[in-house]
């Protein structure tokens, strides 16, 4: 056990319906014993639709470490609850057990229980930016609208469990036969107004989105800046394969149809056309939004 006399307390929040939730329960003894050896006691909290008392627990009990298990959507929903209740974030550890874990990939957190525990035991909690939508909703990885954004929340859950992130890509092929362009208007924090005929926009925190790794190689999760990617309307359908090829090969920013921007804050006007909106892979609403990045409030264990 740790040589410190005072035990630290960790709360592990897990989503039993996330892609690999069994990893938590099947390895519970390993998790509890490894943490206890370092003087950290463990409490479990299971996310259920019938009740939601996470904020009540964190108001009444002080935890040193908040372990969030699940996909990006589960993580950001949990932190949004805390933010709305003005609860200070404990140091956060991530067990990326969802189907798509873009933030974990950007942070290089590893792909197994031992590595995730090692991040806590031998790593340190370092600042990580998060996006804030209309002063209330947090996203950790991406906020997006247009082409492909419905895939993450419309893809069959059983298919996702069986074949993982490939399910997103298979489902997405169907959207290529019905590409919808829309008028996109974004006002940046420097006052510049961006107007484009677009088929997709993404605000990213980190290098990965939708299971694709390294979309923006030089992205920094702690610089206070969002990376905005706009995919312009593709008049020539024969150019579509090149967009997909560049996306898969982390070369999207060099494509003629793609515009990239950085900002600390922006306002996106409601799109008149009907488009899907995704917040960390969960269904969002097509509305006018103010998006800003918050730094130094969230610290995540990593090595």
pLDDT in tens, 184-229: 999 999 999 999 999 889 898 875 555 555 555 566 888 999 989 8
**Mean pLDDT (whole number) for 33-62:** 91
Residue 152 has pLDDT above 60, yes or no: no
**What is the pLDDT at residue 180?**
84
Residue 245 has pLDDT above 80, yes or no: no
Q: How confident is the model at residue 125 (pLDDT cuts 50, 70, 90)?
A: very high
CA distances to 77, 135, 276, 284, 285 from 289, in Å: 18, 9, 14, 11, 10
**What is the pLDDT at residue 236?**
81
Mean pLDDT is lowest, of 24-38, 100-114, 163-177, 180-194, for 163-177
**Mean pLDDT (whole number) for 233-255:** 73
- CA nearest neighbour of 165 among 207, 209, 206, 216: 209
CATH of region 8-122, choose from 3.40.50.1980, 3.40.50.10330, 3.40.50.2300, 3.30.2130.10: 3.40.50.10330
Residue 105 has pLDDT above 50, yes or no: yes
- Of the two residues 37 and 212, the one the predictor is more confident about is 37
**What is the pLDDT at residue 156?**
46
Q: Quick one: tokens of 151?
A: 């895939």
Residue 164 has pLDDT above 90, yes or no: no
Q: How confident is the model at residue 10 (pLDDT cuts 50, 70, 90)?
A: very high
Domain ranges of the chain: 8-122, 142-294
Considering Cα of 25, then 205, then 135, then 287, what sign does the dihedral take? Answer: negative
Residue 298 has pLDDT above 80, yes or no: yes
Residue 163 has pLDDT above 50, yes or no: no
Q: Quick one: tokens of 47?
A: 């996310």
Distance CA 274, CA 181 (A): 10
**What is the pLDDT at residue 106?**
85
**What is the pLDDT at residue 168?**
44
Q: What percent of the chain has pLDDT over 70?
A: 80
- Of the two residues 17 and 146, the one the predictor is more confident about is 146
Residue 165 has pLDDT above 80, yes or no: no
**What is the pLDDT at residue 242?**
76
Phi, psi for residue 123 in degrees, rounded to 5: -95, -170
Mean pLDDT is lowest, of 52-61, 101-110, 252-261, 262-271, for 252-261
**Mean pLDDT (whole number) for 84-111:** 91
Q: How confident is the model at residue 84 (pLDDT cuts 50, 70, 90)?
A: very high
CA distances to 31, 39, 291, 303 from 117, in Å: 7, 13, 33, 11
Considering Cα of 277, then 281, then 283, then 289, what sign does the dihedral take? Answer: negative
**What is the pLDDT at residue 151?**
59
Residue tagged 């991530």 (tokens): 94
**Mean pLDDT (whole number) for 101-122:** 92
- Of the two residues 214 and 52, the one the predictor is more confident about is 52
HSE, side-chain direction, 13 A CA sphere, residue 264: 8
Confirm or reject CATH 3.40.50.11540 for domain 142-294, answering yes or no.
Answer: no
**What is the pLDDT at residue 209?**
58
Averaged pLDDT of the chain: 84
């Amino acid at each position: 056990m740790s040589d410190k006399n005072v035990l630290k307390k960790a709360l592990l929040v897990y989503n039993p319906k996330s892609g690999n939730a069994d990893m938590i329960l099947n390895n519970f003894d390993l998790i509890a014993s490894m943490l206890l050896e370092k003087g950290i006691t463990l409490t479990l909290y299971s996310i259920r639709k019938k009740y939601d008392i996470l904020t009540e627990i964190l108001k009444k009990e002080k935890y040193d470490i908040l372990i969030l298990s699940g996909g990006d959507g589960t993580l950001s929903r949990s932190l949004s609850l805390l933010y709305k209740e003005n609860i200070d974030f404990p140091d956060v550890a991530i067990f990326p057990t969802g189907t798509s874990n873009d933030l974990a990939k950007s942070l290089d957190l590893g792909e197994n229980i031992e590595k995730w525990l090692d991040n806590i035991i031998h790593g340190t909690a370092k600042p990580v930016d998060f996006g804030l939508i209309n002063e209330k909703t947090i996203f950790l990885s991406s906020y997006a609208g247009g082409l492909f954004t419905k895939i993450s929340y419309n893809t069959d859950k059983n298919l996702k469990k069986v074949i993982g992130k490939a399910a997103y890509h298979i489902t997405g092929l169907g959207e290529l036969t019905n590409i919808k362009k829309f008028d996109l208007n974004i006002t940046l924090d420097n006052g510049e107004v961006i107007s484009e005929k677009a088929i997709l926009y993404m605000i990213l925190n980190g290098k990965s989105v939708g299971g694709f790794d390294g979309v923006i190689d030089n992205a920094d999760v702690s610089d206070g800046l969002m990376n905005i990617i706009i995919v312009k309307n593709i008049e020539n359908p024969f150019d579509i394969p090149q967009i997909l090829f560049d996306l898969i090969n982390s070369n999207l920013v060099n494509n003629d149809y793609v515009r990239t921007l950085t900002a600390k804050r922006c306002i996106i006007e409601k799109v008149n056309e009907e488009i899907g909106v995704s917040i960390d892979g969960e269904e969002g609403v097509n509305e006018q939004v103010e998006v800003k990045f918050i730094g130094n409030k969230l610290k995540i264990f990593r090595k």
